[in-house]
């Protein structure tokens, strides 16, 4: 039996997300800045955040495309969907400080808890199980999802690359929220958002980044993922 074509398989349907405001916390870092750029190029309203509002404003001005910059709390308040792209070592503190502002919002955690030594990158396992599960524990009034872990920051920021050929694994316990995130992924040319399970399965998705780093180093590449037969 073959899978249904994506045009007829209702599992591939996504909502219209074009009018949603997307905030990127950690938007001055490579991953956050790259995601902000790609979503803004697709026509999404984007605000990037930093602890330092002036730094966020300067980074937004560099991107153009109508991207705005503000402090993290303002971004959290003014956005419909908030992508968490902060460094792992600041993850818990950032979310704890923004619990009130993020209440009721769709939160997309793309943080990868990793360690590095002479042998390369390796996965860390947070006490909660994953960065996304830590986010869910710290933000009980938010709709937490996990996505955008396996994207090359280099490709995201390279405007000469028009298409990012990859699938985005989206996890979460709120199906409407994961559909919104899948819709955001689909706004970026070349990407698909693929539902990949509940939040309890986020650890292995986050951990896979350590393997991709090894692939990239060995093959001098910017590897992505494709899910076959879907």
Pairing of strands 166-172, 191-195: parallel
Q: Where are the alpha helices (DSSP H) in the chain?
A: 30-41, 53-63, 72-78, 91-97, 131-138, 153-157, 175-186, 202-219
Q: Quick one: pLDDT at residue 122? A: 96
* Strand partners of residue 121: 116
Task: Give percent of the chain above pLDDT 70.
Answer: 97
**Phi, psi dihedral angles at 175 (to 5 degrees):** -65, -35
Encoded tokens for 73: 């709390």
Token duo for residue 215: 């692939």
- The DSSP annotation for 124-182 comes to ---TTSSHHHHHHHH-TTSEEEE--TT--HHHHH-TT-----EEEEEEES-HHHHHHHH
Integer CA distances (angstroms), 200 to 95, 110, 196, in order: 19, 15, 11
Residue 27, pLDDT score:
86
Q: What distance in Å separates the CA atoms of residue 54 and residue 112, rounded to the nearest whole number?
A: 26
* pLDDT given at position 8: 73
Instruction: Sheet with 81-84: list strands edge to edge.
Output: 68-71, 45-50, 21-25, 81-84, 106-109, 143-146, 166-172, 191-195
Per run of 10 residues, the mean pLDDT along the chain (length 230 residues) is: 56 94 93 96 96 94 96 97 97 97 98 95 96 98 98 95 96 98 97 97 97 96 94
Write the pLDDT tens digit of every residue in 138-164.
Answer: 999 999 999 999 999 999 999 999 999
Mean pLDDT rounded to a whole number for the chain: 94
What's the confidence (pLDDT) of residue 76?
97
For residues 120 and 146, the answer to whether their CB atoms sit within 8 Å is no
Neighbours of 187 (CB within 10 A): 18
Number of neighbours of residue 96 by Cβ within 10 angstroms: 10
- For residue range 202-212, what is the model confidence (pLDDT) as tens digits? 999 999 999 99
**What b/e readout covers 9-47, taking b as 16+ CB neighbours within 10 angstroms?**
eeebebeebeebebbbbbbbbebbbbbbbbbbbbebbbb
Cα 226 to Cα 166: distance, rounded to the nearest angstrom? 6
Q: Beta-carbon neighbour count of residue 213 at 10 Å?
A: 17
DSSP secondary structure code for residue 107 in this structure: E
C-alpha to C-alpha distance for 182 and 196, rounded to whole angstroms = 11
């Amino acid at each position: 039996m073959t899978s249904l074509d994506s045009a007829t398989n209702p599992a591939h349907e996504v909502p219209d997300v074009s009018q949603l405001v997307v905030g990127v916390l950690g938007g001055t870092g490579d991953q956050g800045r790259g995601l902000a750029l790609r979503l803004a190029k697709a026509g999404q309203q984007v605000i990037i955040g930093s602890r330092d509002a002036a730094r966020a404003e300067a980074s937004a001005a560099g991107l153009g495309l109508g991207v705005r910059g503000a402090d993290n709390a303002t971004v959290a308040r003014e956005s419909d969907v908030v992508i968490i792209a902060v460094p792992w070592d600041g993850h818990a503190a950032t979310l704890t400080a923004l619990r009130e502002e993020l209440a009721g919002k769709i939160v997309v955690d793309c943080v990868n808890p990793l360690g590095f030594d002479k042998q390369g990158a390796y996965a860390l396992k947070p006490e909660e199980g994953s960065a996304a599960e830590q986010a869910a524990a710290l933000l009980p009034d938010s709709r937490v999802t996990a996505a955008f872990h396996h994207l090359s920051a280099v490709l995201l920021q390279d405007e000469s690359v028009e298409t990012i050929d990859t699938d985005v694994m989206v996890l979460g316990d709120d199906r409407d929220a994961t559909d919104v995130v899948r819709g955001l992924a689909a706004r970026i040319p070349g990407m698909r958002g693929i539902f990949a399970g509940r939040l309890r399965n986020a650890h292995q998705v986050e951990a896979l980044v350590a393997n991709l780093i090894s692939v990239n180093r060995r093959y001098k590449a910017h590897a992505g993922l494709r899910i076959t037969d879907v």
